[in-house]
Structure 1
Amino acid sequence: MSIPTLEELSLLHTNICQAVGDPKRILILYTLHEGPRHVTALSEALDMPQPTVSRHLAMLRQRSLVKCERDGAAMIYRLADERIIDVLNTMRSLLKDIVEGAADSLND
């Protein structure tokens, strides 16, 4: 891939980085990776107040990372694109390597 333009990087930051900039939103994404859920089920699974989950889901929807569809009076949420989990897992792997490298350098 070529070096991204400043405009592309700005879009990346606004649409992806800010969306995953809160650990609660990352937990929501991982939970939705297990399958679609109603907001109440997400709230219970994550032990978070329903208004908190709804607020985070709204941001994830605005950034097109989750989709929702009506199920009677309720809404069911799902990941819009499973690749976000690959991105998060890559970041976790990188962090693990960085932490292990730092620990190794302290032991030297």
Structure 2
Amino acid sequence: DRQVHEVQSYMGRLETSDKESVHLVENEIQARIDNIFSNLERLEILSSKEPPNKRQNAKLTLDQLKYDVQHLQTALRNFQHRRYLREQQERQREELLARTFTTN
């Protein structure tokens, strides 16, 4: 749960990062998300070994964490997509400005 909160705070840094460091922050967030998914898989195996009366509660907690992490993954992808579109528009704008137009 602490790791999920850390990733959420990193997501806030994405918006304020400059163009050069945004990729580093994205990579750091993705690495943390991958690590959380890996930990959740291990916890899922361990929770299946819990006594039946605790198993259901452990499964609910894991499902909530999975949902939270999937939401973070989607938010990261959405940010990357918006950034990609913005960079593409900037490139197209620069190409138009650099083009020399001639009269008919």
Higher strand share: 1
Which structure exhibits the higher relative contact order, with contacts defined as CA atoms closer than 8 Å and separated by 6 or more residues? Answer: 2
* TM-score of the aligned structures, taking structure 2 as reference length: 0.40
Higher helix share: 2
